[in-house]
Amino acid sequence: MTDYTTILKKTLKDPIAKDEALTLFKKIQTHGKLMDLLKVASKVRDDEVGSKVKLMGFIASITPCTVDPPCRYCFRWANERLFNIDDVLSDDELEISMRVVEAKGLKRVEIGGGTYLGEEGRKMTMHKLNIACKTSRRVGVWITNVSFNPEDVYVLKDIGVEGVTCNLETLNEEVYKRLRPGLNLTIRKRIIEETEKAGLGIDNTLMIGLGEYWNQQHPYEDWVEFLYYFKRFKNLRIMEIHPFRPVWNSPCQNMPPGSEFETIKAIAIARLIYRNIDISGAQSVQGLLAGANLIMHVYPITKGFRPWSRHQLFYSKIVKLDEDLVMVDNLLEVTRNAREMGFEIEI
């Protein structure tokens, strides 16, 4: 097996191969070795995409979720109000949200919702996206709900959508069926394939620790397969890598959270594979050191009950935009690390 230092030296100029990525996952097991990896990943990010941190807004929800049973780690288990019809923004609220995102100077926004199955889900999704895209042509719209069929991505393109986030989170079929029993992995793959053919941007998420048990060996091979699966897509624009977080009251509430150590490794290795795409995680010092250059969920806009609990020291403020519509003013909070480390902020 090639020594990890040889791989790191080589990757300053060239993307790493699949076997080299696996070697890095296996060999980087100490603080010192992690520092070696992060130093190289940071330099690759600086050389290939520069030191500007990009921002993406967030608006939710535009559809309820009718997946039955719900994904075993979904927030629906903890809060029954999430992703039901009362959680859906009205047309007027969506217009207000898009105008605020544009006024804040954001260049792109993620519009989320549950997976609303059937023809009603398709109709609602297309209707809401028409409103969002017509309200602001200056903000790139990325859709994160998947309440549509693979062939519908061409309709999304006609509407003016910039990209599609059809998150897989794992390619391990056993894990997928066990934790996402109401969804079809094959259909999701087809949506990504059609997104590529339509020329729309692709965003996807790898979830570190999903389906793992305590004392289980990390499935490095699965993670490498996931990262290299997307090499076939020329329109891959964004890669997100997050640790699994157990949701209270869900069937997964007692499962171990994903390793933050392994998550940072995965972000850095992804940067060595994908030299010039946007990789999320730049809100944290660790993410910046690992080569991330994108912060998601900036100025999130949702129904009033939705904003997540905040630490008492957090700066973010809840701003009321309409009777039941709020924005979390979190810009200074999420960009602080990047600003203090000398990065340029896109906005």
Q: How many CA atoms lie within 13 A of 70 on its CB side?
A: 20
Q: 251 falls in which pLDDT band (50, 70, 90)?
A: very high
> With 60 as the cut, is the pLDDT of residue 183 above it?
yes
CATH 3.40.50.620 for domain 48-345, yes or no, is no
CB burial readout 184-217, b (16+ within 10 A) else e:
ebeebebbbbbbbebebbbbbbbbbbbbbeeeee
Identity of residue 78: A
The phi, psi pair for 111, rounded to 5°, reads -110, 115
Which tokens belong to 37?
């990896």
The pLDDT value recorded for residue 210 is: 98
Q: 347 falls in which pLDDT band (50, 70, 90)?
A: confident
Contacts of 93 (CB under 8 A, 6+ apart): 322, 324, 325
Largest CA distance in the chain: 61
Contacts of 284 (CB under 8 A, 6+ apart): 337
Between CA 104 and CA 55 the distance in angstroms is: 11
> With 80 as the cut, is the pLDDT of residue 308 above it?
no
CB burial readout 15-33, b (16+ within 10 A) else e:
bbeeebbbbbbebbeeeeb
Q: Which residue has the tokens 């990525």?
A: 21
The pLDDT value recorded for residue 313 is: 52
The pLDDT value recorded for residue 256 is: 97
For the chain, the structural domain boundaries read 48-345
- What are the pLDDT digits (tens) for 96-130? 999 999 999 999 999 999 999 999 999 999 999 99
